[in-house]
Structure 1
Amino acid sequence: MSPSRRFLVVDDERQIRRAVAHVLEPLDGKVSEAASGREALTIAAAEQPALVVLDLGLPDMDGTEVCRELRRWSEAPILVLTARHDDEATVAALDAGADDYVTKPFSTPALQARVRALLRRAGRPNAGEPERTAIEAGALRIDLAARTVTRGGERVHLTPTEYDLLATLATHAGRVMTHTQLFSAVWKGRVFGDAQGHLRVHVAHLRRKLEDDPVRPRHLQTELGVGYRFVVD
């Protein structure tokens, strides 16, 4: 890893900034800290960090607005720190461009896992690489070119909507997808009376067809109050 890589930690509490920096420092990068949204945007513009860890409760501006501003000119992964049970703020930040979230108080292993996953995804080369045509997760194989799914080598019949939902989640593996993001990608903005209930039914159908234990899913995981995440490992 390049020692010139930079990380940015944004939180108005110095103790939390130091705790996050302690996780980032072993990753061969320099950690900068900001205590406000405006300071964060100034530092980010100057240093172009490889990762931003952002608290949503800032003193001068909403963390969601910081996400939105960063996304106007930066593709760096954004990991937001959210208060437990504040699902509305979490969803708003993800819809504004954040890549993932950790609830406070957080454990060091949980934060490390999220950071490493984001850096792995951000570090995957794109230019000049052949387009991915299949995704494998355990016994599942999703053929993106043929729009087919097999489980243990056996073909699984999915409806077009079920396939589109699975493919959307799988091509963003490891990343939480909000209800709004999934509806935009799969249903193209069509409106339903109980949108989340409609989505929940389709996810339940997928779990029955694809998971060994639909009650304790391995791949199609729920992020309560936020959305869903496809897990490969």
Structure 2
Amino acid sequence: MMEFKRTALIIEDEENIGNFMSAILKANGYKTILCTTGEQGMQCAESYCPDVILLDLGLPDIDGMEVLKKIREWTVTPIIIISARNNEEEKVRALDGGADDYITKPFGNQELLARIRTALRHRRQPVETSTGIPAYKAQELKIDFDKRRVFLEGKEVRLTQIEYKLVSLLAENAGRVITYEAIIRDIWGPHADTNNQILRVNMANIRRKIEKNPAVPKYIFTEVGVGYRMLENELSG
């Protein structure tokens, strides 16, 4: 029986970095396609329909943000930005522009593989338990989306309606960074004030309820200046 390999499209003009990523992925069971220009990358995305795309922003012919925009117009394939650009505005722009994640160079083998696994999981349907009820579990935290209940160490955590909406939004996108603006738009609507103060207040209240040490969170992490990321869902396997 032929083994099915996931295909990763790498759009990266720096040869050493492209070859480095390709070698890591091949060693972990992926098939790779390496492109060195944005134009070539967009053509390969259409021709090969890869399972995941790793996209550099600093390409020689087209800016990576434009490549992201064009690819995202026709596919939901996970796209992970791989870039030396480390400013917060750039990250927010990429994530709001349709990227699933953003990794800053330099990065390690395990980080790259973990981010790819998370991006691939995000494109699946919501995780369901054996009873068919969508659920989230990470360490001692459990969420029953059907009954809208949250449990920590087996005891129910009392959340307000807004707090529950925030936690469930992050849990449904576990492992991904959700930008402040995207969270505010989803919870409070498209015309809400994008001032982050109300979000920070609610997040502080949530952390007091689910984190043993809110200053060193285990479940909800802050990507400073960008947004929040929730610990991966163990049920998504």
1:70 and 2:41 equivalent?
no
In the alignment, residue 182 of structure 2 is paired with which amino acid?
Answer: Q
Q: Distance in 2 between matches of 1:228 and 1:152?
A: 23
Residue 90 of structure 2: aligned partner? 89
In the alignment, residue 66 of structure 2 is paired with which amino acid?
Answer: E
Q: Distance in 2 between matches of 1:172 and 1:197?
A: 22
CA contact (8 A) 1:82 1:90 kept: no
Per-residue deviation, 1:26: 2.1
1:158 and 2:159 equivalent?
yes
Q: TM-score, normalised by structure 1?
A: 0.89
CA contact (8 A) 1:51 1:77 kept: yes
Per-residue deviation, 1:76: 1.4
* SS at 1:102 equivalent: strand
CA contact (8 A) 2:122 2:173 kept: no
Of stretches 26-35 and 217-226 in structure 1, the one that deviates more from structure 2 is 26-35
Q: TM-score, normalised by structure 2?
A: 0.88
CA contact (8 A) 2:72 2:98 kept: yes
1:230 and 2:230 equivalent?
yes
Of stretches 101-110 and 44-53 in structure 1, the one that deviates more from structure 2 is 101-110
Residue 109 of structure 1: aligned partner? 110
Deviations 1:106-158 (A, max 9, x none): 12222122123323444x467x9986432222222222122222222322221
Residue 201 of structure 2: aligned partner? 201
Could you list the runs of 5+ residues in structure 2 that have no partner in the other structure? none
Equivalent of 2:4, from 2, 5, 12? 2
Could you list the runs of 5+ residues in structure 1 that have no partner in the other structure? none
Q: Distance in 2 between matches of 1:121 and 1:148?
A: 22
1:23 and 2:24 equivalent?
yes
Q: Closer, same or farther in 2 for the Cα pair 1:195/1:125, shift >3 Å?
A: closer
Residue 182 of structure 2: aligned partner? 181
Deviations 1:137-195 (A, max 9, x none): 22222221222222223222211111111110001111111112111211112433x62
Q: Distance in 2 between matches of 1:85 and 1:196?
A: 21
* SS at 1:42 equivalent: helix
Of stretches 94-103 and 28-37 in structure 1, the one that deviates more from structure 2 is 28-37
In the alignment, residue 210 of structure 1 is paired with which amino acid?
Answer: I
Identity %: 38
Residue 214 of structure 1: aligned partner? 214
* SS at 1:195 equivalent: coil
Equivalences, count? 229
Deviations 1:91-113 (A, max 9, x none): 11111111111111112222122
In the alignment, residue 65 of structure 2 is paired with which amino acid?
Answer: T
Q: Distance in 2 between matches of 1:109 and 1:29?
A: 14
* SS at 2:196 equivalent: helix
Per-residue deviation, 1:43: 0.9
